[in-house]
Copies of this chain bind each other. A is one copy, B any other.
C-alpha cells in the first residue's frame, strides 16, 4: 500500500471521485476506493469519517441519514453542485503536481 506520508490530500479527490458514480455511505466508499485502486490506496474509517464532515462543511458533499428496513442507519452522501465543480480543477492540480515531480526527476538525469 502507498505510505501515509505521500497520500496526504488524496482523500478529498478519492471521495469526490467515488461519489461521482453515485451516492454512497462512508463504509462503502472505503471499500470502493480500495477495490478500484486494487488495494494501492486504502483509508481507514477513522480517517474517512472526519474528512466527510469537513467536506460537508465546505459544501462539497451532503449527507443524509437513511434507515434501511432492517433498522440499520447509514449516512448517505452525494455530491453537491459545488462538489462537482471542484472535481475538475482538483484533478488538474494533481496532474500539475505529477508533471512538476517528473520534471524534477528529469532535471536530475539531464
Q: Which residues of A line the B interface, CB within 8 A?
A: 2-3, 5-10, 12-14, 17-18, 20-21, 32-33, 36-38, 40-41, 90-91, 93-94, 96-101, 103-105, 107-109
Count this chain's copies in the assembly: 2
Closest beta carbon of chain B to A10's beta carbon, Å = 7
Q: Are B108 and A21 in contact (CB under 8 A)?
A: yes
Q: How far is the CA of A104 from the CA of B5 in the complex (A)?
A: 20
Q: Within 8 Å CB of A108, what residues of B?
A: 17-18, 20-21
Q: Which residue of B lies closest to A1 (CB)?
A: B96
Given contacts A9-B5, A9-B7, A100-B41, is CB(A91)–CB(B107) below 8 Å? Answer: no
B7, B36, B101, B105: which contacts A103 (Cβ < 8 A)?
B36
Closest beta carbon of chain B to A20's beta carbon, Å = 4
Residue with the greatest number of chain B CB neighbours at <10 A, chosen from A17, A36, A100, A109: A100
B3, B14, B107: which contacts A36 (Cβ < 8 A)?
B107
